[in-house]
Amino acid sequence: MGCASSIHISDRVVYHSGKESEDSHSPQQTNTTQHQGNPASGIPLKAPNCKTTLTEVQFGPMKLFKDPLQVLLVFAKEDSQSNGFCWACEKANFRCSIARTPEAALECFLEKHHDLVIIDHRHSRHFDAEALCRSIRAVNSSENTVIVAVVKRPDREEASVMPLINAGFNRRYVENANMMACYNELLQLEHGEVRAQFKLRASNAIFTALEQSQEAIEITSEDQIIQYVNPAYESIMGYQQGELIGKEIIEVPKSEKNKPDLLETINSCIRKGKEWQGIYYAKKKNGDSIQQNVKITPVIGQGGKIRHYVSINRPLNDNNKSDKSSERVQAESQTDMQSSKHKDRRKGSLDVRSTTSRGSDGSSQRRHSSMARIHSMTIEAPITKVINIINAAQESSPMPVAEALDRVLEILRTTELYSPQLGTKDEDPHTNDLVGGLMTDGLRRLSGNEYIFSTKQPHHLPSHLITPLSLNDIPPRIALTMENEDSWDFDVFNLETATMKRPLTYLGLKIFSRFGVCEFLNCPEATLRSWLQVIEANYHSSNSYHNSSHAADVLHATAYFLCKERVKQSLDPIDEVAALIAATVHDVDHPGRTNSFLCNAGSELAILYNDTAVLESHHAALAFQITTKDDKCNIFKNMERNEYRTLRQAIIDMVLATEMTKHFEHVNKFVNSINKPLAALEESGGTEDEESVKSVLTTPENRILVKRMLIKCADISNPCRPLELCIEWAGRISEEYFAQTDEEKRQGLPVVMPVFDRNTCSIPKSQISFIDYFITDMFDAWDAFADLPNLMQHLDNNFKYWKGLDERKLHSLRPPPE
């Protein structure tokens, strides 16, 4: 069967699909007809190849691939001219739609965003072609669309095309129904205006790269008039775009620190078409001089002449950092290539495939590898560097000096000096947005935009949950899903389904029973059941991620970590109970939006908590409010006052530790106060001194660090779960971020994580960035402490999975079906 054109005729729109049709009926019988030849000229039409092929277009160093043209024909009636273009589209293998009315044309354009629109301008009695063109041009997506007016053949004098140009048309076509004339016109349009617009459309990607670049970029004309500066330039130099665009370079103040003849040297080099690179002092708007590594590249344009100069400026300090980071990444890449075929950015992560059990040889080898990795961890906070210098100095110091330095280290490890230098990691938009969205309080506010998040809704026990269930009365199908709840591979989503989205109550009953929480709190099981139910009722089931299933997942991970030998050695029973309760309540009443969103929106919660740890403060406060206001669910009612205060403080501290702005502080403290001292003890003589180890593990300060690290790892352990669970969680958190971005755009608020746009986001890239930036270092440290080979294996597998999708340039959670 040939690839005959199929046209769907409706009241308003005709779709010319180019697909094969099995049957041929008359239009009166069905809504489909077929053309076997050119109705305008009688020339038989050769059926084009049905296979969709991409056209390759070279645009400078970019190689672009274009789908077949989308063409919209707007003709009030079918006539020889519309048929000529219809069959020309078919011959050229273009995708064609036909609209009969302006309304249908606009609706069709909004749906398909055609590359080429051809409008019948010959018969004003049917519709106003110029008004339709203006309507299409009013749509943002029409910027790169070519619109052609079909006009009557002039009787006498040639009319001016200015009215058409003013209406938004690109060109006119004097009516000629001959199919080959129509076909030739389409080919000229495709290789002329349409291709030019396609290249212009691709330039948007280049400008996006410029806007996102961390380097200051300035573009000037051949006369050295400033035409563009990017946001990084504005940030570094202190100017706004409007203050610079259109000015000559010589009008911008210069630093006196440069050599007198430097500018002349630069100009003489670039005017010859040569690139200049070197150190240059620029003068910021506030008058300060900044030393920069500058590269100026002349851009050759029309006529073989220099048409632009592109200047890329990098502050020298950042450049040094970047160079060091680059050297480190290159060294790591060589190590990775030697150890594995899988090349990635994870820093020398451990291959645990052969050490999944805790056999003495494998475990010992693995532990030494972990400790070696801890020593080489590159979390470059200034305090980390100080501690490393002091440690090195101790080795060659007399005893009194060494003891004094010990006291210095002890003081440093208990102060708030652990904020990292975030710029030392490789930067990309996904990482930048994750850091901006999760580690800032969103103080970039737009005046006049307030989004009120009500905190006045009652927090009570819903009537359908009043009757508490007993641990012994759990339905068999639910009990079956929890049989392996002590395994890391436990599937919380099966429990979510079995309990109709109430997994926290059931899992909480079982885990709290296993840890003897009721006995410790001296509270009846009925009180615990009521408490679990009211806490779960205050999680938002409408959130795709921050709901009670996430709380159940974090509770499960917390319980799993509490069973690890090193953790048990460090923590007391009150710490274990605090950890389980903190995990249960750590996201209660989460609105499904980040702290940055709430601060930018001027929400009641952000105002209440002074834009600081807004959600975490709310979770902790609300948990105690709803627990203590009703004796039926007050699990603390029978506790002795001092013990309650200790427990309460521990719970609050752990919930606040889940706030991401202090992520690196917590990880740094853990590494320097626990990992490294333990590693030193292990390496000192090959055997561990039990008393020395105990002294490291059980000091009050270090117990706090262990509890913080435990709940942090439990809270963001999704990348360490089995692949299917990891994928499901990735989809849920992405959807929640997409919804936030949608709402920020609707409310006119700053978009704190622009890469999480549901239309453009690459989920694999976001997962890779999250693992690289937040997960790898933290779980390396936690694994070295708690010994978690299965988690590290899952992390490695999951990272490879996301990396594989990204290398295939896929943006989705899963590859397309084979």
For residues 297-310, give the mean pLDDT: 86
Q: Which residue has the higher pLDDT, 21 or 205?
A: 205
Confidence check: pLDDT of 649 > 90: yes
Which pLDDT score is estimated for 254?
A: 86
Exposed, middle or buried, 690 (CB in 10 Å: 0-12/13-18/19+)? Answer: exposed
Over 80: is that where the pLDDT of 3 sits? no
Are the CB atoms for 771 and 451 separated by under 8 Å? no
CB 627 within 8 A of CB 639: no
* pLDDT tops 80 at residue 406: no
Q: What is the pLDDT of residue 434?
A: 64
**Nearest-angstrom CA–CA distance, 349 and 806:** 20
DSSP state string for 645-691: HHHHHHHHHHHHHT-GGGHHHHHHHHIIIIIHHHHHHHHHHSS--HH
For residue 117, count other CB atoms closer than 10 A to its CB.
27
Kindly report, residue by residue over 536-575, the tens digit of the pLDDT: 999 999 999 999 999 999 999 999 999 999 999 999 999 9
Q: Identify the pLDDT of residue 66.
A: 65
C-alpha to C-alpha distance for 191 and 183, rounded to whole angstroms: 12
User: Average of pLDDT values for 386-405?
Assistant: 78
pTM comes to 0.53
Q: Which of the pair, 27 or 200, is modelled with greater confidence?
A: 200
Question: Residue type at 766?
Answer: S
Q: What is the DSSP string of 278-313?
A: EEEEEE-TTS-EEEEEEEEEEEE-GGGSEEEEEEEE
Q: Tens digit of pLDDT for each residue in 414-423? A: 655 555 544 4
pLDDT at 157 over 60: yes
547 among annotated binding-site residues: yes
**pLDDT tens by residue, 494-542:** 999 999 999 999 999 999 999 999 999 999 999 999 999 999 999 999 9
Q: What is residue 481's predicted lDDT score, i.e. its pLDDT? A: 95
The count of other CB atoms within 10 Å of the CB of residue 462 is 11
Q: What is the pLDDT of residue 356?
A: 34
User: Which sign, positive or negative, has the C-alpha torsion 606, 610, 615, 617?
Assistant: negative
Q: Which residue has the tokens 């900044």?
A: 290
- With residue 174 as reference, give the H or E element that holds it: strand 171-174
More confident residue, 317 or 465: 317
| pLDDT of 470 strictly over 70 | no
pLDDT band at 685 (very low <50, low <70, confident <90, very high): low
Mean pLDDT computed over 483-493: 96
Report residue 22's pLDDT band, with 50, 70 and 90 as the boundaries: very low
Give the model's confidence band at 619: pLDDT under 50 very low, under 70 low, under 90 confident, else very high: very high
Find out whether 614 and 606 touch, Cβ atoms under 8 Å.
yes
Of residues 307 and 473, the one with the higher pLDDT is: 307
Residue 134: per-residue pLDDT:
92
How big is the chain, counted in residues? 818
675 is in an annotated binding site: no
* DSSP element (H, E) containing 8: strand 6-9
One-letter amino acid at 406 equals D
Per residue in 24-69, pLDDT (tens digit) is: 333 333 233 333 333 333 333 333 444 445 566 555 566 556 678 8
pLDDT at 158: 80
Strand order in the sheet with 289-300: 226-229, 216-221, 306-315, 289-300, 276-283
Whether pLDDT at 71 is above 80: yes
Residue 443's pLDDT is: 44
35-39, 57-61, 91-95, 112-116, range with the lowest pLDDT = 35-39
pLDDT value at 412 more than 60: yes
741 or 430: whose pLDDT is higher? 741
Residue 716 banded pLDDT, cuts 50, 70, 90: very high
What backbone phi and psi angles, to 5 degrees, belong to 717? -85, 0
Distance CA 109, CA 111 (A): 5
Which residues fall within 8 angstroms of residue 302, CB to CB, at 6 or more apart? none
Contact 115, 194 (CB under 8 A): yes
Can you tell me the distance from the alpha carbon of 728 to that of 613, in angstroms, rounded to the nearest whole number? Answer: 27
Q: How high is the pLDDT of residue 457? A: 45
Residue 126 has a CB neighbour count (10 Å cut-off) of 15
pLDDT at position 47 is 37
Percent of residues, the chain, with pLDDT higher than 90:
52
When pLDDT is cut at 50, 70 and 90, the band that residue 373 belongs to is low
**Residue 7 — very low, low, confident or very high, per pLDDT cuts 50/70/90?**
very low
What is the C-alpha to C-alpha distance for residues 733 and 592, in angstroms, rounded to an integer? 9
CA distance 666 to 488: 24
What is the pLDDT at residue 802? 97
- Kind and range of the H or E run holding 767: helix 763-770
pLDDT for 399: 77
In whole angstroms, give the CA distance from residue 566 to residue 675.
12
> 467 pLDDT exceeds 50?
no
**Predicted confidence band at 389 (pLDDT cuts at 50, 70, 90)?**
confident
pLDDT at 350: 35
548 labeled binding residue: yes
- What pLDDT is stored for residue 440 in this prediction? 60
Element (H, E) at 369: helix 360-375
For residues 620 and 647, is the Cβ–Cβ distance under 8 A? no
- Residues 333-357: what's their mean pLDDT? 36
Name the more confident of 72 and 349.
72
Reduced to 3 states, what is the DSSP secondary structure of residue 248?
A: strand
- Indicate the average pLDDT of the chain: 80
Q: What number of CA atoms fall less than 13 Å from residue 247's CA on the CB side? A: 14
**Do 539 and 471 contact (CB within 8 A), yes or no?**
no
Instruction: Count Cβ neighbours within 10 Å for each residue of 514-545 and write b for 16 or more, e otherwise.
Output: ebebbebbebebebbbbbbbbbbbbbeeebbb
Which residue among 430, 546, 590, 618 is the active-site one?
546
Structure-token pair, residue 383: 């305090």
| Per-residue model confidence (pLDDT) at position 62 | 61
pLDDT at 464: 42
Residue 453 has pLDDT above 60, yes or no: no
Locate the DSSP E strands across 251-391. 276-283, 289-300, 306-315
CA distances from 362 to 246, 730, 783 (A): 67, 32, 15
Cβ distance 777 to 376 under 8 Å? no
User: What DSSP designation does 543 have?
Assistant: S
Task: List, for residues 256-287, the tens digit of each pLDDT value.
Answer: 888 878 888 888 888 888 888 888 888 888 88
Separation CA 501–CA 495 (nearest Å): 8
To the question of whether residue 550 is assigned a binding role by annotation, the answer is yes
Q: Is 546 a catalytic residue?
A: yes
* Chain CA centroid to CA 577, Å: 35
715 is in an annotated binding site: yes
**Between 156 and 644, the higher pLDDT residue:** 644
Helix 723-747 and helix 763-770, axial crossing angle in degrees, nearest 10: 110
Give CA–CA dist 505/528, Å, rounded: 10
621-627: average pLDDT: 97
Higher-confidence position of 529 and 412: 529
The mean-pLDDT minimum among 265-274, 372-381, 460-469, 741-750 falls in: 460-469
Mean pLDDT of 383-389: 76
Phi/psi for 294 (5° steps) reads -115, 135
